């Protein structure tokens, strides 16, 4: 029998977090059948817990491309893309998954992400990025804050790819992540394309995942370069068409 849930973890320079991430899945995800697929974007093999299926890419092919590779191997009805530097906190996975049953137009659900201090991670969900909102964000007028600070389920324009649940059939319908985004903004882009087809995105703060954040990059300069390159591509794709 196929699992209900396929958890896809893309590893890049995060091997030391991977075992704890998978242990938290085993400890907290108890009420549903699942599989774990680890896509290793390191150029060297890694030690992977036996509970997971390991796919070695041989090099860093990018986050979105690695997620798409894992999704093609997945058998679950729901896909969960999960960063290796995360740990599941909540046990109420059925509450989250039942949201997909309540609304057939619901495509994507994002849980509440918290930092090590237990505070909600900024930018774990939000409203659509526009040039005007980018300007407002830079001066501290952040419209999206009301979404990630919500204690109740709330519609969102996008949720973070650090922990993103999506119906596999809809993921396939929108042709997965846009691999032209090497990393960053591929989650916002995915959510936008799903919404363009009439589907919904939900922020579900009642399910919590701890996210240590940024552990795959020791070089913050390189990390920022990837971010701004993807940001420019996103704005070119949707707002600067010729």
Nearest-5° Cα angle at 26, 208 to 92: 35
Residues 105-125 pLDDT 10s = 999 999 999 999 999 999 999
Do 159 and 112 contact (CB within 8 A), yes or no?
no
pLDDT of residue 214: 67
Residues 144-188 pLDDT 10s = 999 999 999 999 999 999 999 999 999 999 999 999 999 999 999
Q: What is the pTM of this model?
A: 0.94
* Phi/psi of residue 107, nearest 5 degrees: -105, -40
Is the confidence at residue 42, as pLDDT, over 90? yes
Q: Measured between alpha carbons, how far is 226 from 210 in angstroms, rounded to an integer?
A: 24
Name the CATH topology of 5-239. Answer: Spore Coat Polysaccharide Biosynthesis Protein SpsA; Chain A (3.90.550)
Q: Measured between alpha carbons, how far is 235 from 159 in angstroms, rounded to an integer?
A: 18
Query: Distance between terminal CA atoms of the chain?
Result: 49
- How do the domains of the chain map onto residue ranges? 5-239
Q: Measured between alpha carbons, how far is 212 from 110 in angstroms, rounded to an integer?
A: 17
């Amino acid at each position: 029998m196929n699992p209900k849930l396929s958890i896809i973890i893309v590893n890049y320079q995060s091997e030391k977090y991977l075992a704890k991430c998978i242990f938290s899945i085993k400890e907290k995800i108890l009420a549903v059948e699942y599989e774990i697929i680890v896509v290793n974007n390191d150029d060297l093999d890694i030690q992977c817990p036996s509970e997971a299926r390991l796919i070695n890419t041989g090099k860093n092919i990018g986050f979105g491309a690695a997620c798409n590779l894992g999704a093609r191997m997945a058998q679950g009805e729901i896909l969960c893309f999960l960063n290796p530097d995360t740990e599941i906190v909540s046990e109420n996975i059925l509450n989250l998954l039942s949201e997909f049953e309540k609304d057939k137009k619901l495509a994507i659900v994002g849980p509440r992400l918290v930092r090590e201090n237990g505070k909600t991670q900024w930018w774990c969900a939000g409203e659509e990025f526009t040039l005007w909102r980018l300007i407002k964000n830079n001066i501290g007028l952040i419209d999206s804050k009301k979404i990630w600070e919500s204690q109740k389920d709330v519609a969102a324009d996008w949720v973070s790819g650090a922990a993103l649940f999506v119906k596999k059939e809809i993921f396939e319908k929108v042709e997965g992540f846009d691999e032209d985004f090497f990393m960053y903004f591929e989650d916002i882009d995915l959510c936008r394309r799903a919404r363009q087809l009439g589907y919904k995105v939900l922020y579900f703060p009642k399910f919590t995942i701890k996210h240590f954040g940024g552990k795959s990059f020791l070089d913050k300069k390189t990390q920022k370069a990837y971010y701004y390159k993807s940001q420019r591509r996103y704005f070119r794709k949707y707002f600067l068409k010729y």
